[in-house]
Amino acid sequence: MKNLYLLALLLGSFGFAQAQSTVSGTVTDENGDPMPGVAIMEKGTSNGATSNFDGQFSISVASLDATLVPYFVGYRRQEIPLNGRSEINFTMTPAVQALNEVLVVGSRSYERSAVEAPVPIDVIDASALAANNGRVEINQILQYAAPSFNATKQSGSDGADHIDPASLRGLGPDQTLVLINGKRRHQSSLINVFGTRGRGNTGTDLNSIPVWAIKRIEVLRDGASAQYGSDAIAGVINIVLKDQTEGLTGGVTYGAYSTNVGEGYAEESGETLFNVQGTKRLDGEDRSFDGNTAKLDLNYGVALGDDGGYINVTSELLSKERTLRPGFSWRQGYGSAAVDQFQMMANMSLPLGENTDLYAFGGRGDRNTDAFAFSRSAPGVDGDSRAVP
């Protein structure tokens, strides 16, 4: 009886061994080169193998009538019947449609960052952006376009009303390096002394550069003091001037703020924007709009020589009226400053040889501003003993 059981077990093992077959072969690409890492699966089962460095593989299948399915990213999927063969070679062919790079962001704005750069870099088309968001000055354009860049309008803050203090990553205005065509831009002579951003610092007046003179703005949102020095701790802003030679282009911009938002509010000792009629401002002017802004831009470019030289000149005329936003601060004057300015910027390059260029760029501007002063109410006036700035 024991001999019969042993014979039955041996026959069962022999039958199982006969049910499994081994298939081997080589996988190559369309050029005949071996392809390592190709996954070969038996269709309808979990049996599989992977080709080695020489493209060779060996797989156990249920029978020689099985079908092999090779997989590799970017290559066409195939189904190869064995038809009784225990050795088979096949070639992988690339897919007809290659995979495209897909960027998924939680924003509906245009692509701004250089995604392949090892550091955070933003490349901004200032002229196109200004045409879309209604801003007329570089500081305000970057404020709404570049992360970590901050430049706010001040009121009653001495010189900061006239030259906006701007910063990167919350650091001081003098810790952001500004370049023009890769060359250092000078800082302003204003020291911020009141309680504004960058108190005790001297920053760079970006608003002194005409928007239409700029081809693009490159913002490095990372410290670069090892390369540029301590004034690049917060980052680097490189402004690339236009080099186009298409002749004369221009643009006109106008905007204003509606002051009708205050209608219907009761007059309370001059704390609101309007009086009881709801049409006259606290300064007595009868208007429904303030902060009227008008700007004229002209850009002219012409070629120099036949070797790619150029000269590009931009002029900008800007006029902004004051705004009045006292709110509940008990101040007679609180709002943005009035600005009247004219600016020009030129950019030139002339090739002199294979490795030699003569280049020059520069600008000139004139700005007149009128801002509300820092003030305090006299104590005891109308029963008010408060001293409010």
Task: Give start and end residues of each alpha helix (H) in 54-209.
Answer: 126-133, 138-143
Does one domain contain both 335 and 222?
A: yes
Does one domain contain both 79 and 159?
A: no
Q: Is residue 267 part of a domain?
A: yes
CATH number of the domain where residue 43 is located: 2.60.40.4130
Average pLDDT (225-251) is 87
3-state DSSP assignment of residue 262: helix
Does one domain contain both 45 and 165?
A: no
3-state DSSP assignment of residue 105: coil
Range of the domain at 74: 19-91
Tell me which of 312 and 101 has the higher pLDDT: 312
User: Could you tell me what percent of the chain has a pLDDT over 70?
Assistant: 73
* In contact, 145 and 129? CB cutoff 8 Å: yes
Q: How far apart are CA 58 and CA 13, in angstroms?
A: 22
* In contact, 35 and 57? CB cutoff 8 Å: no
Weakest-pLDDT range from 99-108, 189-198, 363-372, 380-389: 380-389
Question: What's the pLDDT at 285?
Answer: 55
pLDDT digits (tens, 9 = 90+) for 69-127: 888 877 888 888 888 888 888 888 887 554 455 555 555 555 556 555 566 788 888 77
Residue 347 has pLDDT above 90, yes or no: yes
Phi, psi of 126 (to 5 degrees): -65, -40
Q: Which residue has the tokens 């203090």?
A: 165
Q: Is residue 4 part of a domain?
A: no
Q: Is residue 378 part of a domain?
A: no
Does one domain contain both 34 and 153?
A: no
Q: How far apart are CA 177 and CA 184, in angstroms?
A: 7
Residue 13 has pLDDT above 60, yes or no: no
Flag whether the pTM goes above 0.85.
no
Angle at 222 between CA 218 and CA 228, to 5 degrees: 80
Does one domain contain both 243 and 309?
A: yes
Residue 219: count of CB within 10 angstroms of its CB:
25
Task: Give start and end residues of each alpha helix (H) in 206-306.
Answer: 225-228
Q: Is residue 245 part of a domain?
A: yes
Residue 10 has pLDDT above 90, yes or no: no
Does one domain contain both 195 and 314?
A: yes
Does one domain contain both 71 and 208?
A: no
Average pLDDT (43-64) is 86
Tell me which of 58 and 196 has the higher pLDDT: 58
Could you tell me the CA-to-CA distances from 33 to 52, 111, 309 in Å, in that order? 13, 39, 49
**Closest of 308, 298, 306 to residue 359, by C-alpha:** 308
Does one domain contain both 359 and 233?
A: yes
CATH number of the domain where residue 283 is located: 2.170.130.10
One-letter amino acid at 75 equals Y
- Parallel, antiparallel or unpaired: strands 80-81 and 48-50: unpaired
Report residue 319's pLDDT band, with 50, 70 and 90 as the boundaries: very high
Phi, psi of 17 (to 5 degrees): -65, -35
Question: What's the pLDDT at 189?
Answer: 81
Q: Is residue 197 part of a domain?
A: yes
Q: Is residue 293 part of a domain?
A: yes
Report residue 220's pLDDT band, with 50, 70 and 90 as the boundaries: confident
Q: How far apart are CA 243 and CA 302, in angstroms?
A: 9
The total domain count for the chain is 2
Q: Is residue 96 part of a domain?
A: no
Q: What is the mean pLDDT of the chain?
A: 77
Question: What's the pLDDT at 104?
Answer: 56
How many CA atoms within 13 Å lie on the side-chain side of 69?
8
Tell me which of 216 and 377 has the higher pLDDT: 216
Q: How far apart are CA 231 and CA 220, in angstroms?
A: 13
Instruction: Give the tokens for residue 275.
Output: 């009086």
Does one domain contain both 237 and 162?
A: yes
Q: How far apart are CA 152 and CA 167, in angstroms?
A: 10
Does one domain contain both 181 and 43?
A: no
Does one domain contain both 128 and 241?
A: yes
User: Could you tell me what percent of the chain has a pLDDT over 90?
Assistant: 16
Report residue 381's pLDDT band, with 50, 70 and 90 as the boundaries: low
Residue 275 has pLDDT above 50, yes or no: no
Q: How far apart are CA 90 and CA 25, in angstroms?
A: 8
Does one domain contain both 75 and 194?
A: no
Question: What's the pLDDT at 328?
Answer: 52
Question: What's the pLDDT at 107?
Answer: 53
Q: How far apart are CA 165 and CA 175, in angstroms?
A: 12
Q: Is residue 214 part of a domain?
A: yes
Report residue 8's pLDDT band, with 50, 70 and 90 as the boundaries: very low
Question: What's the pLDDT at 375?
Answer: 65
Residue 344 has pLDDT above 50, yes or no: yes
